Amino acid sequence: MKLYRALSRVFPRSYRAKLLGVVLCCTFLPMLALVVWLLANNGRSPEVLILGVSMGLAAVLAGTVLSMVSIYHLLEPLRRAADTLDAYYQNQTLPPLPTTGRDDLGRLLHGIHRCLHGIDAGVRELERHAFEDSLTGAMNRRGCEQAIAREVGAIREGDPPFVLFVVDLDNLKPINDAHGHAAGDRLLVEVVESARACCLGKGEWIGRWGGDEFLLGLHGDLLCAQDRVRAWVEVLARPTDGSIPAYVSIGCARHQPGMDWLQLYRHADAAMYQAKFSGGRRLVCHDPFETAARQEPVRA
């Protein structure tokens, strides 16, 4: 790349001029020097002429080798472009490409750079739509599945516990019937926004599993996580801005060693249905290591 940048100062707009300049300097100049020397030393003894021709041919040969090495270095941007394309194909990484050249190769590198970044932006946007709920901005079901699997797969000994909450709205249908589906949609958005504002910490998330059911992924002690969720439920049930209150039934489960993500979800989901069938507006936790008193439904 250093040779390419250096020659770009001399031949800024032509890559062919760079290649031709390297070949001429490395091969033509030694040959021209040989011809000039022969003309200047015409009539000398044959031994001197033979020595001079031999040295001239050696210089031409060395120049040829130097020109080949220089051309190899001039092609470094092309090799880097190929490596960049391979890297993006394999793991979607975007190594930097030089984009300052104004010759044919510089335009090619700039085009590759621009196209790759455009493709990458499009891929990120498609991923966002593939894993994000379009109404609330929370993760959709596919995103939730990946998030739970990622959380469970990343747990190591000594890490804070991971607690999954399944949240179901108790009064979405009455709101839709009384105020229209637009009011119900606003309530779903407010559920997500309030969770992010007063319940979720760094690395924690909320997703819309489907309809009026949400998942929360929290880290830390089970009782502390429950306290945070209770505070959030209090905000939903008693909004201060005059919006429609939301009432929820919640089930939770703490990840245990050897448990996969689907088992964890099923435990939390079963606890949510227990809360729902017990009259709603409750939080029930499935945790075999807690005492019986702590497994009792708790008013949310």
- Cα 91 to Cα 86: distance, rounded to the nearest angstrom: 9
Question: Domain extents for the chain?
Answer: 2-121, 141-299
Per-residue pLDDT tens digits of the chain, which is 300 residues long: 576 666 666 656 666 676 667 777 767 677 777 667 666 776 666 676 677 677 777 777 777 777 777 777 777 777 777 777 787 778 777 767 766 667 777 777 778 778 888 888 887 777 777 889 999 999 999 999 999 999 998 888 778 899 999 999 999 999 999 999 999 999 999 999 999 998 899 999 999 999 999 999 999 999 999 999 999 999 999 988 778 999 999 999 999 988 999 999 999 999 999 999 998 899 999 866 554 334 444 454
pLDDT at 298: 47
Q: Is the dihedral of CA 46, 48, 51, 53 positive or negative?
A: negative
Spelled out in words, what is the top-level CATH class assigned to the domain 141-299? alpha beta
Q: Which residue has the tokens 């044959």?
A: 46
Give the residue ranges of DSSP H helices in the chain: 2-10, 15-23, 29-40, 46-74, 76-91, 104-131, 141-154, 172-179, 181-198, 222-237, 261-277
